[in-house]
Structure 1
Amino acid sequence: MKNYLHIHYLNVINKRVARVVWNIINKASAFLWNVNMKGKCTFYGITIFRTLPGTQIDIGSKCTFNSSHRSNLIGVYSPCMISTIMRGAKIVIGDNCGFSGTVIGCAKSIKLGNNVRCGANTLITDSDWHSDDPRTGNDKPVTIDDNVWLGYGVKVLKGVHIGENSLIGACSVVTKDIPSNVVAAGNPCKVIKKIVI
Structure 2
Amino acid sequence: MPKAAYLALRRGNLSIIPYRRTAMRASGSQFDGPGRVHIGANLPNSPSVAGHFILHDNAMCRLEGNFSILSGCRIDVYRGAALTLGSGYINVGGRLQCYSAITIGDGTFIGENFRAMDWDQHSIDGRDSAPQPIHIGASVWIGAGVTVLKGVTIGDGAVIGAGSIVTRDIGAHRLAVGIPAREVSDVSWR
Indicate the TM-score class for this superposition, using the shorter chain for normalisation: 0.7 to 0.9
1:115 aligns with 2:79: no
Deviations, residues 42-80 of structure 1 (Å, cap 9, x unaligned): 32245411122111122333212221xxxxxxxxxxx11
Equivalent residues in 2 for 1:41-56 (5 A)? 41-42=37-38, 43-44=41-42, 45=48, 46-56=50-60
Q: Aligned partners of 2:61 and 2:125: how far apart in 1? A: 27
Q: Aligned partners of 2:36 and 2:108: how far apart in 1? A: 16
| Identity in percent | 28
Question: Which residue of structure 2 lines up, in the alignment, with residue 61 of structure 1?
Answer: 65
Q: Secondary structure at the match of 1:100?
A: coil
Deviations, residues 2-37 of structure 1 (Å, cap 9, x unaligned): xxxxxxxxxxxxx74xx3146757179365475526
Aligned length: 169
Q: Which has the higher strand share?
A: 2
Q: Aligned partners of 1:138 and 1:117: how far apart in 2? A: 28
Q: Secondary structure at the match of 1:117?
A: strand
Question: Which residue of structure 1 lines up, in the alignment, with residue 14 of structure 2?
Answer: none
List runs of 5+ in structure 2 lacking aligned partners.
9-16, 43-47
Contact 1:60-1:96 at 8 Å conserved across structures: no
Q: Give the TM-score normalised by structure 1.
A: 0.74
Q: Aligned partners of 1:171 and 1:185: how far apart in 2? A: 8
Distance change (3 Å), C-alpha of 1:162 and 1:36: same
1:173 aligns with 2:165: yes
Q: Which amino acid aligns with 2:67?
A: C
The RMSD of aligned alpha carbons is 2.8
Tell me how far 1:129 sits from its aligned partner. Answer: 2.1
Contact 2:67-2:88 at 8 Å conserved across structures: yes
Q: Give the TM-score normalised by structure 2.
A: 0.76
Q: Which amino acid aligns with 1:145?
A: G
Equivalent residues in 2 for 1:114-193 (5 A)? 114-130=106-122, 134=126, 137-193=129-185
